[in-house]
Structure 1
Amino acid sequence: MMRCLFLRPIPPTILYETPCHHETVHQELLINGVFIGGPCDQSIGKTQHSSPYDGKLVGTAAEAGWSEFTAAIDAAETAFESWQFSTPKTRADLLNRVAFLVRERFTELAELMAEEIGKPITQSEAEVTRLAITFELAAKLALQNHTREIDVSHDSCSKNVRVTATRVPVGPILAIVPYNWPLNLAAHKIAPALAAGNTVVVKTPSMGTLCTLALGRIIHEAGCPDGVVNVLNTVPALAQKAALDPRIKMLSFTGSPQVGWMLKELLPKKRVSLELGGDATAVIAPDSDIDHAIEKLIPGAFAYAGQICISLQHILCHETRYLEFREKFTRATESVQTGNPLDRTVTCGPMISSEAADNAIALIEDAENHGAKLLTGGHRIGNIIEPAVIESPTRQMRIGIEEAFAPLVTIQSYSTDDQAINWINSSQFGIHAALFTQDQARIQTYFNNLETGGLIINNSPSLRFDAMPYGGIKNSGFGREGVANTFHEMTEDKVLVQTEN
């Protein structure tokens, strides 16, 4: 059966009687408040989206050409003329209504995500929960005062002069969303943009398309004015062309370093925010609680098959605790449940594609060929890779150089804190690192010396809260997300200087 999700508000009691994994979904483009490309519309191309777990068709989506893309940019530019002057309450009310509808459609969104991108259902549910929180955080931010007084009293010319600076929106924003968080990372671009008074053109991921288009429909049903949010499924080449369009004032990109840095080179004079790859390391200090560390690190490494940019990729354990840690962590890895992402007991579902699974196997083989030891896992069934532990990596191996984006983790011992810090800093990436210790002096040493965007203490480096600054350095990108930080990236200071008679 073919249907179009969220054509109108559906009472939850009706919605949940027929779970979405029993149906085929079709999603349309949202351009200037109009849905385009229905299942019977032969004037618009369609893309098919299948489950990475079993290959079954999940749904289809309308596909935009350049005429649709440029219409969306036109709509965003026109809508900005009025939306930039909308009241804080208008913006906050819209954002809160979106959060309400997200919670109302919790089950359907989570099941769609589990099917379309293979994210295990409990993790999909967690993302939908965070999705609502992100919009609520933005609603609160919209109501804050974003004008501040500037003290100029040090200057003798400042008598009877009052100076203020107000954060004002930059204009239409192109938001390019990744497949691994097709709802909440879309929200981390859309919600702060709306709170600031910007308009948005969203380019959905090629995998995860149905989810992001579903979010667009929810935003529309929440009463978003025409043209303020436009959501398109299209090919990367057209997104690149749109990024170059002078009507687009900022690019917010989350994805691979290769694509992100290429876009930045093309846009030397345009505001750009890049959230790219990572290879997070956790350090197990000699005073750490090994059992607690393993409890946090197992999901940090293997949730969603490691397809998260702050997934745990490397572990360094102090030599005095290494043998104990090695045995316990390997045994815990072997207990990680893999399989159907709709099974609530599953932690590690499928890789997003057969190509991604091929790459994971190639990383393991390269490590073994260069002297590393595979302690457990690494077997493949379809797109599922059994969680793998690789001992004694080096920075000359692919897994020591590249972002794995797979359920693979390396372990090795270290002797000194300097050695551990140097390992982390030798990476081309730098988003999060983790340290397990009770020693405050050691915490400060790592915090002061690590070349990363954040340090997580006694928890997985994959820990992230939607309100905190988030982002990396080096090849991991620049700029910061987190609702308030993204708001700042998407606005600029406008100064008012008033002289009183």
Structure 2
Amino acid sequence: MKTVYPLFINGKWEESGNLKEIKSPYDGRPVGQVFFARSDQVKEAIAAATAAFETARRMPSYERARILEEISSGLKRRREELARSIALQAGKPIRDSRAEVDRAIMTFDLASEEARRIGGEIIPLDLNAFSQNRWGLVRRFPLGPITAITPFNFPLNLVAHKVAPALASGNTILLRPASQVPITSLLLAEIVAETGLPAGIFNVIPCDYQAAENLIADERIKMITFTGSSSVGWEIKARAPRKRVTLELGGNAALVVEPEADLEFAVLRSVTGAFAYAGQICISIQRLFLHEKIYDRFMADFVARTRALKLGDPLDETTDIGPMINEAAARQTEEWVNEAVEKGARIVCGGKRSGSMFEPTILEKVEPEWRISWLEAFAPVVVVYPYRDFEKALEAVNNSIYGLQAGIFTHDLKKAWLAFEKLEVGGVIINDIPTYRIDHMPYGGVKESGTGREGVRYAIEEMTELKLLALNLK
């Protein structure tokens, strides 16, 4: 990997007077230096994306598909370099980082397929006498320049979920990656630059909040797609009332385990769902509801497997859990856990912090309104509750300001269907964890968890506008 990374604006690499060092959250080692854009450079990128939109919208589907295929091929060629960049910047264990690259490859492959089949429909308009011999043709058109703002926890695949559908649908895009992990997006820009994509269609502009204001307020921006915290997301939407805005925000995911479930599989998946990437996933299990009949048996296995997880260097092939994104995040987790303990909670395992590392932690005897249960922890912490009645458990799941995904382990089809009907979430996962996501499925939340949907085909719908052509064939 090189050590200095310029901006990518209008098909060219640009420097600025603002060079920032990116450091590993694990040990503080320097990862690289990145130029952060000035406000005038952000405006330059917006102008480039605006000028390039006519080229993008007229690009034939086979050409858009080809470019997306070549991006996918470039990701495959540079898989290890990209995975290492994720591990170093975000602290994600290297095995998980490789898995993220593989998911991004799939996301671009899916977008290549979808670019070829963005269709429309023919509708009859002869619904009364004065409208005889009339037909309607409905087709999707791209919106224009799109601002994409992405978080630190998936530095490549969450970028892919914004860039790939934007390119597939003929839009231009301005990407502002999270300030902790910009290098991965700039490596993606190197790959995109090799495909022959016309200048200005794709721009990568790491920048501070003040410069990023242009990406929200500028009237030439037609859509904002944001993944991040609920507070920031809703503020963006309030400041851009006339733009299309999709928000993939925070969560407080719950899992319910019924007595007839496959407990061994449920435990294995729960360990992953609660603690993968140090819990820094918006659909990480934070609340675990266990039927009282299987509570002790489940907990014995769950605790044993949690204690067996290895914390350490993200570049170590044997590491299961790396650091949190910074020490401040780990300190907040420590504060919330200690606060719960002072109020009467019991730490079953974990609970200790060392720098930016926080042990996988299981808590019991937590009241639902305490911060560690009510707010999004975004940490390797799970709160466990026993329950007796399934419908009461569903009510407890719904007792949240968030609504992204929920998981139910049951072999009872009626209970599965009841959960699907009753749960106030964007997705209900049966016989798996709420952390499950495959990249073509619709993904998004309700309540404080956001608005709109990702998943390539669904994101394309968000990034396009329906237009009607009404034909009088008399």
TM-score, normalised with respect to structure 1: 0.93
Structure 1 residues 92-122: Cα deviation after superposition (integer angstroms, max 9, x where no partner): 0100000000001001000111011101111
Q: Retained in 2: the 8 A contact 1:299–1:347?
A: no
Structure 1 residues 367-426: Cα deviation after superposition (integer angstroms, max 9, x where no partner): 112211101002222211110000122222101111111110111100101211111111
Aligned to 1:479: 452
Q: Does 1:170 align with 2:148?
A: no
Distance (Å, rounded) in 2 between the aligned partners of 1:66 and 1:280: 38
Q: Does 1:143 align with 2:116?
A: yes
Of 26, 31, 35, 2:13 maps to 35
Aligned to 1:96: 69
Of 441, 444, 448, 2:417 maps to 444
Distance (Å, rounded) in 2 between the aligned partners of 1:153 and 1:122: 59
SS of residue in 2 equivalent to 1:148: strand
Q: More displaced, 459-468 or 233-242?
A: 233-242
- Gap runs ≥5 in structure 1: 1-19, 38-42
Distance (Å, rounded) in 1 between the aligned partners of 2:223 and 2:139: 19
Q: More displaced, 422-431 or 142-151?
A: 142-151
Superposed, 1:173-252 pairs within 5 Å as 173-252=146-225
SS of residue in 2 equivalent to 1:178: coil
Aligned to 2:250: 277
Q: Retained in 2: the 8 A contact 1:284–1:437?
A: yes
Of 431, 438, 451, 1:465 maps to 438
Structure 1 residues 140-198: Cα deviation after superposition (integer angstroms, max 9, x where no partner): 11101412111223232332222111000010000001111111111111110111110
Structure 1 residues 323-359: Cα deviation after superposition (integer angstroms, max 9, x where no partner): 1112211111101111011112212100000101101
Distance (Å, rounded) in 2 between the aligned partners of 1:204 and 1:44: 19
Distance (Å, rounded) in 2 between the aligned partners of 1:348 and 1:181: 15
Aligned to 2:41: 68
Structure 1 residues 128-150: Cα deviation after superposition (integer angstroms, max 9, x where no partner): 01111111111111101412111
Of 338, 341, 347, 2:311 maps to 338
Q: Does 1:316 align with 2:294?
A: no
Aligned to 1:158: 131
Q: Retained in 2: the 8 A contact 1:76–1:229?
A: yes
Aligned to 2:4: 26
Q: Retained in 1: the 8 A contact 2:126–2:135?
A: no
Amino acid at match of 2:422: N
Amino acid at match of 2:25: P
Q: Number of residue pairs matched?
A: 474
Distance (Å, rounded) in 2 between the aligned partners of 1:328 and 1:83: 54
SS of residue in 2 equivalent to 1:84: helix
| CA positional deviation for 1:456 | 0.8
Q: Retained in 2: the 8 A contact 1:204–1:213?
A: no
Structure 1 residues 47-75: Cα deviation after superposition (integer angstroms, max 9, x where no partner): 11000011000001011011100000000
- Gap runs ≥5 in structure 2: none
Q: Retained in 2: the 8 A contact 1:240–1:263?
A: no
Q: Retained in 1: the 8 A contact 2:43–2:214?
A: no
Q: More displaced, 194-203 or 326-335?
A: 326-335
Distance (Å, rounded) in 1 between the aligned partners of 2:339 and 2:102: 39
Distance (Å, rounded) in 2 between the aligned partners of 1:284 and 1:240: 44
Q: Retained in 2: the 8 A contact 1:434–1:459?
A: yes
Q: Retained in 1: the 8 A contact 2:247–2:452?
A: yes
Amino acid at match of 1:411: V
SS of residue in 2 equivalent to 1:345: coil
| CA positional deviation for 1:81 | 1.6
Distance (Å, rounded) in 2 between the aligned partners of 1:136 and 1:157: 47
Superposed, 1:52-63 pairs within 5 Å as 52-63=25-36
TM-score, normalised with respect to structure 2: 0.98
SS of residue in 2 equivalent to 1:59: strand
Distance (Å, rounded) in 2 between the aligned partners of 1:182 and 1:172: 22
**Runs of 4 or more consecutive aligned structure 1 residues displaced over 4 Å after TM superposition:** none
Of 403, 411, 417, 2:384 maps to 411
Structure 1 residues 2-51: Cα deviation after superposition (integer angstroms, max 9, x where no partner): xxxxxxxxxxxxxxxxxx4xxx62211110000011xxxxx531111000
Amino acid at match of 2:394: I
Q: Retained in 1: the 8 A contact 2:405–2:429?
A: yes
Distance (Å, rounded) in 2 between the aligned partners of 1:469 and 1:311: 18
Amino acid at match of 2:14: I
